[in-house]
Structure 1
Amino acid sequence: MSAQNTGDTADLPVIGLGLPFEEWTVGRRFRTIGRTVTDADITNFVCVTGMLEVLFTNLDYLENESLIKGRLAPGALVYSFAEGLLLQAAMQHTGLAFLGMELKVHRPVFAGDTIHVRSEVTSARPTSKPGRGIVTAMNEVVNQKGDVVLAYSATRMVKAAKAG
């Protein structure tokens, strides 16, 4: 590439854009990149949300009294990170609305765990308005050991590539 800036980027392809409705076909499966949950992530999340439970804030309690050992991450943080990974991977410029979900936590996540999301489209239908559709996907959050730690079915409105 030339060091000279011509100011014209219209001919460059844009990367990182989400999947348009037409690509959310039933049975389609994909996975996101991974993300490691850190001590700082846990501290920041519990402080900003007010989830100041001893399971998340008191290391002495975790070591000496808790039945669960290790720096525990709230399930809400794990879900939030999963949504962030999905947004980065599949919904930039195409996600229109989050419509609902059903969620189940299967295992704890600890500081130092690396998670990614496996997703499978379970339903997809166009809306009555052109240019958009309703998509439901089953999302499994998986840790570095291959264990499903959290699973949720999410329904979203997604922009179509063609307005109809």
Structure 2
Amino acid sequence: MLITSTDKTVKITVFARTSTSPDVSFRIIAPIDLSRVFIADRLFPGIAGVAEQTDSWDHAGVSRQPRFTDGSHATESLTEYVEGHGFAYELTEFTNALGALALGVRGEFSFLPDGDGTMIRWTYEFKPRPGRKAIIAGPFRPLWQRYMQAALGRMAAIVEEEKARGTSR
């Protein structure tokens, strides 16, 4: 386990709404093509693709390597998966600048009922390297939060596109 209750971490949470049920939003987002939502910007690379995926991305224990547009990669492991409700994962072994800041990240998606739709909550919990917490909690935090919010907005848009096409059932 990457993060324990005694670790001093930095959490960043973003939210988005969809007009579909939590089950439908979950079913579209859990296996989403990462290259469609993690787009490079002036500060952060996007995701070019995924390599070495060990199995379907639908149960704890699966791992893969997201490949970033700058040529770097990380290892991602699915640690929790509750159909229709949420999933959690850990990212470790970053080969880009993030590896100098954090030992790893725990990500968690929750899909919560919101009227006829869904409130999606996405949290990134960074486990900073020694002496790096002030950087992550300070100048890095708002930049990463903006990047996360943009990615989650793209995920929500894909959910709405699937609904409009009638393929979200």
Q: After TM superposition, is the score higher than 0.5? A: no
Instruction: Tell which structure's C-alpha radius of gyration is larger.
Output: 1
TM-score using structure 1 length: 0.30
